[in-house]
């Protein structure tokens, strides 16, 4: 995620479909402060670019009014990364998931300003989006950038990148689809690497395994640049759906 707001997902260890089961969430929903322009964007632009919770899996061709290769970004923060990718690749479609209102409003404003038509937004928990909204093998690329590392050991169960979530994510990713993770928290990077290496659904695209150099396909955000100035190392992981 490209800012202070983080993973819009329930814990992969929880089952949101279980009756009476209270899920462990990997995000904290903060109210945030909407600017007047962000509030206007949410009111006026959401009907055009937002997705309401569907009763059945989405028809993505109908949603985007075309057939195209599709990227899913989970936890897009303020949306700058998603907007830059959408501007670079008008031939692709982008589905962004974020729970925090200011980030959604910020992205909508940028979409309006730059005339970006190839983005749709789910303002919802990512696990439910993956489990219930997306058809099988419908995503060609999945991005999870700078998710909340939940530093304290007792909170590690809230981390998004865990085996059960990768199982869920693999279902909606087409064979050969690309999974790109990035974090600036070394202990979480180690966990991500361990989980991805153990997954039967993904293989590391780096010869010999391990972390990847930052690919040019991932724009460097303000959040990342701030971290680099503070001396934080950034870890990229690149995998392919097998």
Q: Where are the alpha helices (DSSP H) in 65-185?
A: 80-88, 101-114, 126-128, 163-172
CA atoms within 13 A on the CB side of 232: 19
Q: For residue 147, give the H/E element and its range.
A: none
Of 7, 131, 148, 184, catalytic? 148
Is 80 a catalytic site residue?
no
CA–CA dist 238, 207 (Å, integer): 11
| Residue 142 near residue 180, CB atoms below 8 Å | yes
Tell me the residue length of the chain.
242
126 three-class SS: helix
Q: How far is CA 194 from the centre of its chain?
A: 20
SS3 content of the chain, % helix, strand, coil (to 5): 35, 20, 45
Pick the closest to residue 140 from 1, 241, 215, 60 (CA basis).
241
Residue 91, both tokens: 């031939």
| Residue 24 near residue 13, CB atoms below 8 Å | yes
Q: Which residues are catalytic?
A: 148
């Amino acid at each position: 995620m490209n800012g202070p707001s983080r993973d819009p997902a329930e814990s992969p260890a929880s089952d949101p479909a279980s009756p009476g089961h209270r899920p462990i969430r990997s995000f904290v929903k903060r109210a945030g402060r909407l600017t007047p322009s962000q509030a206007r964007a949410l009111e006026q632009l959401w009907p055009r670019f937002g997705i309401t919770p569907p009763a059945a899996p989405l028809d993505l061709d109908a949603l985007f009014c075309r057939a195209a290769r599709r990227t899913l970004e989970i936890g897009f923060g303020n949306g700058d990364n998603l907007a830059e990718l959408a501007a670079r690749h008008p031939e692709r479609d982008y589905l962004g998931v974020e729970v925090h209102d200011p980030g959604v409003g910020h992205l909508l404003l940028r979409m309006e300003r730059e005339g970006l038509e190839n983005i749709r937004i789910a303002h919802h928990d990512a696990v439910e989006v993956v489990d219930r909204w997306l058809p099988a093998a419908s995503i060609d690329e999945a991005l999870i950038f700078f998710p909340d590392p939940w530093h304290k050991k007792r909170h590690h169960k809230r981390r998004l990148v865990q085996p059960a979530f990768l199982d869920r994510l693999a279902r909606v990713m087409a064979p050969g689809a690309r999974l790109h993770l990035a974090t600036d928290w070394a202990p979480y990077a180690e966990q991500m690497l361990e989980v991805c290496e153990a997954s039967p659904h993904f293989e590391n695209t780096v010869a010999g395994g391990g972390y990847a150099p930052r690919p040019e396909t991932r724009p460097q955000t303000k959040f990342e640049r701030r971290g680099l100035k503070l001396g934080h190392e950034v870890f990229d992981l690149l995998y392919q759906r097998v």
